Structure 1
Amino acid sequence: MNFVMAFHYKKLGELVTIIGGGTPDRNKPHFWNGDINWISVKDLVGDTISSSLETITTEGLEKSSAKLIPKGNIILPTRMALGKVAINQIDVAINQDLKALIIKDNSQLDLYYLFYFLKSKSNFIESKGKGATVKGITVNLISNLEVPILPLTLQKKIASVLRKAQALINKRKAQIEALDQLTQSVFLEMFGDPVSNKTWERRPLKDIADVRDGTHDSPKYVPNGYPLVTSKNIKNGKIDLSNVNYISEEDFININKRSKVDIGDIIMPMIGTIGNPIIVDEQPNFAIKNVALIKFNNPLLVNIYLKYLLDSHYLDYILNKNKRGGTQKFLSLTDIRNMEIPLPPRDLQDKFSEIVKKIDSQKSILHKSLRELEKNFNSLMQRAFKGELFND
């Protein structure tokens, strides 16, 4: 049968039952820490849900608007993290920011086919979010999504192709994660635990590096100009300019009189989630605000060593020691300058740097491969739900 000939649409609301959830009363401890997995948006970290950060009791479920969803259904958020979608591999109760989609007739609609269709709509769903601070969508929007319907055998065939493509992506991500763990292991093997190992001399960071921060002013934003990098633009070890604000050339020059960023410097968020230091490895054309800037002018300290020290649990140890907390809202410049830094011999730091560069070279190859796999996967999804994947 020709795929295009069999292609028609149905509204999602006709195909699934949409179930909402709720949160048991937090003031009643006996509602919590039970045997029922209770999930929120925080649990949507992958394509499947096999555990939960919190659990509730049977009474907590019965006395609240939380709903128990049997395993093997689709969960998606209608508030925060819009565009995410997952399949629960275990029975779960869901909170009010999530909706469960229960397929009405499994002989007409395949679970994984619907899952990948919703993934293909991720950008669309995210773009429809409304709200000043927290974006949300209506159940109506979900119900009115038009799902391309075709014979179940073809649905399963499409789902199988997409699952195999997704498996390749997951494998590549796992390889990258393994290299990240290798770097952390090498750090600990060479330098020991920075909290407990007292082998090395310790000196305040201000004595061995030039520590500054970005502007404290709020320059006027312009449609086109120079990027102003803040904490929100430092993600996953990279500078993300996709949601950056721009400033004029005059403001850019004035800010850089105080805190010009150069190749080899470390920049690190000081507001929001503290940490996530990055080494600037390309010629910067941006200014910084509320971001720490560490410049290296002393042979005792190598930037790669310091980056991984700050990336370790040592930073949390320092913050907690100063009663700041690992996720506090603001880290002062004084805190950073006074941070005690263990100083292994320079040749050991250099050796570690060379190992990291080799690992990073392998990671770069894997990241390039991952981008290509994700591009192909997105292309497959778009073709599948336009009726172009199996049309002969």
Structure 2
Amino acid sequence: MTIPIKKISSFCKTGSGGTPSRSNNAFFENGTIPWVKSGELKNRYITEVEEYITELAVEKSSAKLVSKGSLLIAMYGATVGEVSQLTFDATTNQAICNIQPDENVCDVNYLYRFLEASKPYLLSRRVGGGQPNISQGVIKDLEVPLPPLAEQRRIAAILDQADELRQKRQQAIEKLDQLLQATFIDMFGDPVSNPKGWEVGCIGDMLESVKYGSSDKATLEGEIPILRMNNLTYSGEMDLRDLKYITKVQADEKYLVKEGDILFNRTNSKELVGKTAVYVGPEPMAYAGYLVRGRTKENFAPEYISAFLNSPWGKEKLQSMCKSIVGMANINAKEFQSIVLPIPPENEQMHFKARVLAIREKKQLLVNQLNVFETLFKSLQNQAFNGTL
């Protein structure tokens, strides 16, 4: 059976919103109408918004009311191509395209799944310089395969089930991240009040060496992977999905990290400066100049130092001490070593390290499972919209 294919413009109502003038307080003050911004399109459903506008704002601006159940696609900004569904009537800014399908032609959940699968294509159609965007015309010209409604609903249900498996694994991973934070608090308490009465010192007291990374230019191909600031996450993990490389000649021993080394992001935006993670190996890698490598003495656990810097107290301390220079914030190696913290006994630190490693081992199993489910989901997406599911 040949599946009919139609452009979105032929069976959907589409439109975009607007931003009421912020110079007029009457447009925002005591507003009761939800106003969605493109940056809020991150999840399947829009269940809350940061800002509300007034009826006067709707009347006097291009921000028009969009009905509950409509689909929203971000046309520019950091979330370009992301799609969400409204759970209430709302307005949007001009960076969002709203889509309302004819329910006699297309199931809205099926269309959501199609648009979700179309994100790579939409990203490929971006134009512009500093902030590439897609036009409403690109979205309206999308060609959607439209089997009978019953078949659309069957396909959407299969993808919903596969997506639920992904979401459950992701939620389990997030709970393990919370467990890491809870373990730190349970064992050490508030490091500012130091309820255990442990000796107080500086991070430098616990380190045998501290070195800056390599300033050599990295390339997409090479012999030795080099870790950069994007390879450290805000929560204190190593993310090795986007690596660059240098040559063996460039990879001097002083620029290599080994298992158990602390990496500290000394220069970044004010919100991200001070990102810290422990390198878990196993093979040595190089590290770039915006990072500082700290190597602990034998009787100290790098996981304790990292957990302290990634705790709410550590983040607050880093924010208070960083210096801003031309839009970037900086904390140098000497300042990194000067950070004051309680220093628990060796046995306490090693017990914490063992618990951290056990939690991370469980997390890695879940990450591996999540990767399998991601692959399965993409395969089902491909089958769903080429007529083979």
Q: Secondary structure at the match of 1:184?
A: helix
Query: What amino acid does structure 2 have at the position aligned with 1:203?
Result: G
Is it true that 1:57 corresponds to 2:33 in the alignment? no
Distance verdict in 2 for CA 1:28–1:228, change over 3 Å: farther
Q: CA deviation at 1:10?
A: 0.6
Normalization by structure 1: what TM-score?
A: 0.88
Distance 1:208 1:371 in 2: 37
Moved more, 8-17 or 377-386: 8-17
Is it true that 1:322 corresponds to 2:321 in the alignment? yes
Q: 1:377 matched to which residue of 2? A: 377
CA contact (8 A) 1:7 1:149 kept: yes
Q: Deviations over 1:281-331 (max 9, x none)?
A: 1213333131232221252x3111122111111222213433759xx8322
Q: 1:78 matched to which residue of 2? A: 75
Q: 1:8 matched to which residue of 2? A: 4
Q: CA deviation at 1:153?
A: 0.6
Distance 1:317 1:52 in 2: 27
CA contact (8 A) 1:227 1:241 kept: no
Q: 1:281 matched to which residue of 2? A: 280
Normalization by structure 2: what TM-score?
A: 0.88
Distance verdict in 2 for CA 1:127–1:245, change over 3 Å: farther
CA contact (8 A) 1:221 1:248 kept: no
Q: Deviations over 1:92-142 (max 9, x none)?
A: 321122211111x10110001001111111222223323333221122221
Q: CA deviation at 1:26?
A: 2.9
Distance 1:373 1:60 in 2: 44
CA contact (8 A) 2:203 2:305 kept: no
Q: 2:265 aligns with which of 247, 269, 273?
A: 269
Distance 1:36 1:368 in 2: 42
Q: 2:63 matched to which residue of 1? A: 66
Q: Deviations over 1:217-268 (max 9, x none)?
A: 46375754544432233346233443x4444444443xx54x3322211223
Is it true that 1:180 corresponds to 2:159 in the alignment? no
Query: What amino acid does structure 1 have at the position aligned with 2:48?
Result: S
Q: Secondary structure at the match of 2:33?
A: strand
Is it true that 1:200 corresponds to 2:198 in the alignment? yes
Distance verdict in 2 for CA 1:53–1:315, change over 3 Å: farther
Distance 1:201 1:120 in 2: 55
Moved more, 289-298 or 157-166: 289-298
Q: CA deviation at 1:159?
A: 0.5
Is it true that 1:345 corresponds to 2:345 in the alignment? yes
Q: Secondary structure at the match of 1:304?
A: helix
Q: Deviations over 1:53-94 (max 9, x none)?
A: 233333333333223322211111111322321112222321
Distance 1:351 1:167 in 2: 36
Distance 1:363 1:320 in 2: 29
CA contact (8 A) 1:36 1:57 kept: yes
CA contact (8 A) 1:76 1:99 kept: yes
Query: What amino acid does structure 2 have at the position aligned with 1:319?
Result: L
Query: What amino acid does structure 1 have at the position aligned with 2:238?
Result: K
Q: CA deviation at 1:376?
A: 0.8
Moved more, 168-177 or 204-213: 204-213
Distance 1:195 1:110 in 2: 55
CA contact (8 A) 1:16 1:102 kept: yes
Distance 1:54 1:268 in 2: 36
Moved more, 43-52 or 197-206: 197-206
Distance 1:202 1:266 in 2: 20
Runs of 5+ unmatched residues, structure 2: none
CA contact (8 A) 2:71 2:84 kept: yes
Distance verdict in 2 for CA 1:202–1:291, change over 3 Å: same
Q: Secondary structure at the match of 1:86?
A: strand
Q: Number of paired residues?
A: 376
Q: 2:187 matched to which residue of 1? A: 190
Q: CA deviation at 1:332?
A: 1.7
Q: 2:13 matched to which residue of 1? A: 17
Q: CA deviation at 1:335?
A: 3.1
Moved more, 126-135 or 46-55: 126-135
CA contact (8 A) 1:275 1:315 kept: no
CA contact (8 A) 1:261 1:284 kept: yes
CA contact (8 A) 2:218 2:226 kept: no
Query: What amino acid does structure 2 have at the position aligned with 1:212?
Result: K
Runs of 5+ unmatched residues, structure 1: none
Distance verdict in 2 for CA 1:202–1:91, change over 3 Å: farther
Alignment map for 1:39-188 (pairs within 5 Å): 39-80=36-77, 81-103=79-101, 105-188=102-185
Distance 2:172 2:145 in 1: 35
